[in-house]
Amino acid sequence: MNFNEFAAYAYFFLIMFLVIGTYSYIYHLYKNRKDVTGVDYEDYSNMALKDDIDDAPVKSMSDDKEK
């Protein structure tokens, strides 16, 4: 096995490792959307798109204080 053949195999396995790592990271992000307190911050992603004065807020707030 010469150096060029070794480099081709190394390149192939490096690319496969990076693809598998990227897809597993994306799966991890979508599987664990909520944080420890249970807040899903993906709801806030539309805040920039729905910023008109007549649009509904992302999270409605109450005037009553929680006890």
What pLDDT was estimated at residue 66? 58
Name the nearest CA neighbour of 32 among 23, 41, 22.
Answer: 41
User: Which phi-psi region, left, alpha or beta, contains residue 38 (left: φ > 0; alpha: ψ -120 to 50)?
Assistant: left
What pLDDT was estimated at residue 21? 97
User: Per-10-residue mean pLDDT for the chain, 67 residues long?
Assistant: 95 98 89 72 75 77 63
Residue with tokens 């390149």: 11
What pLDDT was estimated at residue 14? 98
What pLDDT was estimated at residue 54? 83
Answer whether 44's CB lies under 8 Å from 33's CB.
no
What pLDDT was estimated at residue 63? 63
Cα-based distances in Å from 59 to 7, 44, 49, 62: 53, 9, 15, 10
